[in-house]
Structure 1
Amino acid sequence: MKIDGIRLLCLNFLIVVSLYVRSGEGQKNSILVNCGTNSTINVGGRRWAGDSGTGGNVSLSSSGIEASATTFDGDQAYAPLYKTARLFVDSLNYTFRGAQGSYFLRLHFYPFALKNHNVNDSSFSVEANGITLLSRFNVPDEILHKNLYIMELGGNSSSPYLVKEFFFTVSSDVLVVDFIPTKGSFGFVNAIEIVNVEDRLFVDSIHKVGSNGETSNLSLSKRGIETMYRLNVGGSPIKADEDLILSRVWEADSSYMLTANAGSEIHSRGNITYGSANETSIAPLVVYRSARTTSNTQVMENRFNMSWKFEVDPDFDYIIRLHFCELTFDKANERIFRIYINNKTAADNFDIFEQAGGMNKTYHQDFFDVVPSVVNTLWIQLGPDTTTGTAGTDALLNGLEVFKLSRNGNLAHVGKVENPGGSKTSRNMILWVSIGAGISSIVILAASIALITCFCRKRNKETDAKKHPPGWRPLFLLNSTANAKGSLHQSLYGSMAPNRTGRRFTLAELKAATNNFEDSLVIGVGGFGKVYKGEIEDGTRAAIKRANPQSQQGLTEFETEIEMLSKLRHKHLVSMIGFCDEQDEMILVYEYMANGTLRSHLFGSNLPPLSWKQRIEVCIGAARGLHYLHTGADRGIIHRDVKTTNILLDENFVAKMADFGLSKTGPSLEHTHVSTAVKGSFGYLDPEYFRRQQLTEKSDIYSFGVVLFEVICARAVINPSLPRDQINLAEWAMRWQRQRSLETIIDPHLQGAYSPESLTKYAEIAEKCLADEGKSRPAMGEVLWHLEYVLQVQEAWLRSINGENSFSSSQVLADHEVREDVDVPEAMKLDRGAGLDPKRVQDE
């Protein structure tokens, strides 16, 4: 580091710097500054002039401190640029003359070790022509936060530097960029770019999300814009030297997707052209040569959306720019899809070919939305519009950008705006220090006692840590221990204990019951771990589920399962006998279900196929169990993982719902849903729940509808080996059902052994369960009523073919209504597929 010994005498000295640079196509009048040095270097194919030189059109208000580093941890191509910086402990500004027009301003930060200054303590604000760009900005914190956020989404990020990009229009001939350190702190900057934008990059009139095509006039020439995210969708990252027009950096989109491989990447080597003359500066053509589509059905259903999640600042306006180029279809009406932003419809019936005017032509669409003060995330989702009957049932996206708009001259987070002079902050600090001093004497004694207590507890925790590896802790170790969100886990020996039923087994007892967890006794393997067939000492057969420490499921599912089954008892729910949480183990003991899973009796095994009557009875049993879950508690319980492997059959083929590790208590009376992360099994997931992250009982209804089709078709819900239109069972079966030809694809074992009337009624209720919107789906009680009617129709048909009596479906329905001893709603009398009060069907 070079320190100017007479810095204090030169605060107002004007250093004139010649930095007028023309580098790269379309970058006339661009200015590239290499801060903290007098050296001019070439980086990324562009010339960066040192800010310590002399010249004409850029001036520096004070010299500050020139800093340099000997090493650089990152892309070595950028090492010369990021190994120097200008450090400031007082306000400092760069003045750029001849800058009238529209510009990108990019500030480059790389926090290397500084002599006599701890870079982790830096804090500063940045303003440009009266617009606050950054406030109380700490570079290391921002870098760490971004990397952790990407890792949280499942991406990979270890970038050691940060670039903040802003866009605004300079109406005068001068652009002044002010760097203002927080009082008592300092700041630094490694490089500055001012890139001229000759074409009109933004327009004022933009479609507002959720307004049915209504536009908003944003007066962008008077507002500052910050680039929050810029992604190359379906392709590799794009470096600045690959964007010849404006030297923008485009990240790969996979790091921001809810499920990184939810859509497949496609690439084109065709001749991509701009759709219009004003598109040339919007994005480089390389962005449009790759895309992501939702056609990867090995991962997700076609009816589901590709979803990107972004962390944003609340209480700001945002522009969302989507880039499109049709790479597959050569005519209109072949790929039509919907666009959702923050769970609101931004566009439907969206046809890229039609919008762009052809195949391999670029097109972009801007949308405007407001993120309220209580929200800090922005969701962008694309999904197929299955109602259009198009050949292509997937969506496509090539690129994505998110821009934040200033409010009242501010782009920094509202809660962080500071008084650069620091007087108000100082007065507030003095006030709080005075109050703190006044009450400190009261707590000194208590603090001393607390320190002694904490020391003792720490000793105990260190002992526990040696016995129990981190991240895998049995339930009793979490008693009164705050979790990562600040809430307290309930211990089995604490507040949950009075509601708990079941026996606490020792590990030795369960080892004896399973011959030390012998592999030959494994009867199933799930996300939680292996399930063993065992026999406890009194001769009772049991299913013993032992958690795998490497499993993605763990303590939460273990706690949930115990909590749910401790308060749930029903003929059609699998009973829990007990549990074991000894020696870092998490083991659950259930009643043994002799006939295993429903799925094993449908396909994939050598077991004899179930008859149509047996299948209906199994569905009725599962429906009764789910109906009890939905209505048996004050707020109801949502299973969240309804599928044929979680429907178990006892020795009499009585069906029981199992696996409550993902279950959630339903919403309270004042709410319509439970906001929660999406969990479940692909092929069964409710697309509305997946899109909105809003869980309701109707999510179980959708999953149960998939089960109904799986039962009758006897095939996997997702089978990638089949032709494309058959991969997803729900979509395939629904297409046949809408044609009223479901019998074409049913299990061949059922041919000639079912009542056509029963199949028709069964298919109708299954179809209703798969309605796109939850509000259009029936309640589980209504589903149960219809299934019981289907069973009676089948039984009557069987009696008729055996010569016992004649068959009449209308008489069966009348008998069914009488047997239920409940008035049937008028709507159902007119249309037998209509609704029914779910509380009218109760299990004995």
Structure 2
Amino acid sequence: MRFCGLLLVLLASLCAASAQTAAKPILIDCGCNSTITVNGRQWIGDSFPGENFTLSSSGITASATAAVSGEPVYGALYRTARIFNTSSSYNFTVLPGNYCIRFHFFPFSFDGFNVNDSSFDVTANDLKLVSKFNVPGEIYWKNTRSKSNITSLVKEYLLSVSLNQLKIEFVPESGSFAFISAVEVIPILDRLFAETANRVGSNGLKVPSSLSDRGMETMYRLNVGGPEISSGEDHDLWRKWDSDERFMFSVNAAYSISNTSNVSYASINDSSIAPILVYETARTMTDNQVVEKRFNVSWKFDVDPNFDYLIRLHFCELVYDKPNQRIFRVYINNKTAAENYDVFKQAGGKNKAYHEDYVDAISQKVDTLWLQLGPDSLTSASGTDALLSGVEIFKLSRSANLAHAPERINTVQGGLLDQKPKNKILWTAIGAGAGMTITVLLLFAAFVRYRTRRKKPPPAKRSPVWRPLSLHGTMGSTTNAWASKSPSNKIGSTASNRIERRFTIAEIRAATRNFDDTLVIGTGGFGKVYKGEMDEGMTVAIKRANPQSEQGLKEFETEIEMLSKLRHRHLVSMIGYCDEQNEMILVYEYMANGTLRSHLFGSDLPPLTWKQRLHACIGAARGLHYLHTGAEGGIIHRDVKTTNILLDENFVAKMADFGLSKDGPAFDHTHVSTAVKGSFGYLDPEYFRRQQLTQKSDVYSFGVVLFEVLCARPVINPSLPREQINLAEWALHWQRQKSLERIMDPRLEGNYSSESLKKFADIAEKCLADEGKNRPTMGEVLWHLENVLQLHEAHVQKGDLNSSPTSQARYAADVSFSLPRIVEGEEEACTEPESIDGVGYQEGQG
């Protein structure tokens, strides 16, 4: 009887193993009506469900009208998608076991479905995977947080299926829709996860970690010290392994080592854990003989709060051939995960691939996960450094939920999901009551102050006579009326920290040959800009204010205040100042190639190529995006135009002229109410009508810049027929006729790809939406422009550029508005647009 029982157990095990072996991946190309082969794997179109799956409702099939630019391996899959505007599901017939599920999303607009407006939930059986999910928002979030530049999104989940059915359901929000490009359902044949893992900081305590207990989402998968490993190189589960450089706190803290021979798995059961390629490279510490033994190699990851995470570390000793040669500690979120860690001893030898799993909880107030490796100073190992070959981070489900907290920013518009936990209601009421009390007290104090000030004699009106400037509180006269309101008083010591040099008037005169007019490279209402050379041989731009210009004085104040607290590669930098002998002079870095406008028209300079124009637009967008997001409330430039975009000797674009800039609205406001200032032709019509300034006002102006870059003509040209005077109106007319190539710069002929031109024009059109709420953010504009550059470079590599600008371009406008006429000008053709309030000067030409 005992023998029979053992035989039955053996037969059952063999049957189960046979069933698992027979399980095949199910690969679905959504919205497709045929079977295609991508990288050696067959994908079934879901228009004709097969024996392994059914579709509860057909939804809407969508296909891209232009070439796609997603993950290269899957590019062919991203030409189609399936859209659901009602709750719909894929129903799979599978064997019980563990599965890896991947969702592929490639956003493109189709027949009135704007993917920016898409919001939906996804569940797998009873496990919620995402909630109120917006694909473009997630892509943007990933790009900004991890400094990447992806255009498609792959979400990977691992879960256990106990029955023969797997139901993946897409549930769009009311009035919205869901979409999906491709789905993978891959059986995990081997045991990918052990039953338990080490709890971080618990001195060896084990916690459950198998898929039978929880579902998982793959957050990160990195090949440490080596290049990206494509999914086609991981033949077991087709996993993609990214390079770890973007996530390192300091790349210089470690260097890469490799050994591409003799690497094998420490256990035969580990063959599916990771491909051998992961273990053939690693990072070790740059200097393992540092005096400070707490020196660590660090990686930082953005994660969702209030979840447990499984951190899988991959090791392989590539150097030492005996134990106790390399011993180190592992820290996760500043807690000790392992000490006295010896890879050779743990793996059982040199060139042995080995992994270790740890679990740690992330609280509701934390959204980052730190991984750090460092030497163990208490050991006598000859190599007291650290080593790591790979890392994977998985989010573990809580209460059948993997969807991130609703407070996370998840839409492309950058707004918070409008949900608040119910347990915050009481605190909200208490906070409101306290706020009302404070408001009453402040109003009373303001009233007392007002009554007190009324009794004082009115101050004498300040004379417009020029006064010297002191950027440092310890310099200049303390009784100086102008200096008393200088930026040093507004922003504390920021200016003195940022602007390190104070030039003498003698140095300035020597640099400009006593303000020689032949050195003038720009002029405006403030005065003149000179090209100068300092004693050290440094070429600079010197802006000298006109003492009689009250408007110029105010702009100088604003310029100093802004530039003293701003530093960015795509903003023109201030080097120093001079405030002697009633002069007010600012010294900037010199921009050798002058203004962007001078390279587009109105000069004999050679025309910029399409790629150079894209780089210039991307640089300017980066500068503006930094202004909008780099400080609380952001900064609004308010005078974005091609003469305020300067090019250095390498044609790197930088934003200039911050004389009209304004701090953005406070956190509880949507706009800044202010008088209209800016340049005709670039001015936001909504700002013009309502006198309400927002960051979207800069976006509108930048849209005009994009069309100016494309068409190479002035934004206002009164010498042209009436309908052509305003470039924004004229370009939008042809864009909506899908014939913008008819008015673009003919010098670009044969130099661009139709796909990149189409996307570029689409971005410009969206920037010019009549209402600010319908315009993209600068971050979105930047992201799409970088995608335009990728499209162009892809076509250059293929040698597939247009020979005729009218041959292939097709345009799809998904916004419709009529731009009000801003000016019916009487100005001279081909001149700098007249500026409201006397602004709009050129600087930096040379």
Radius of gyration: which is bigger? 1
Q: Which has the higher contact order (CA 8 A, sep 6+)?
A: 2
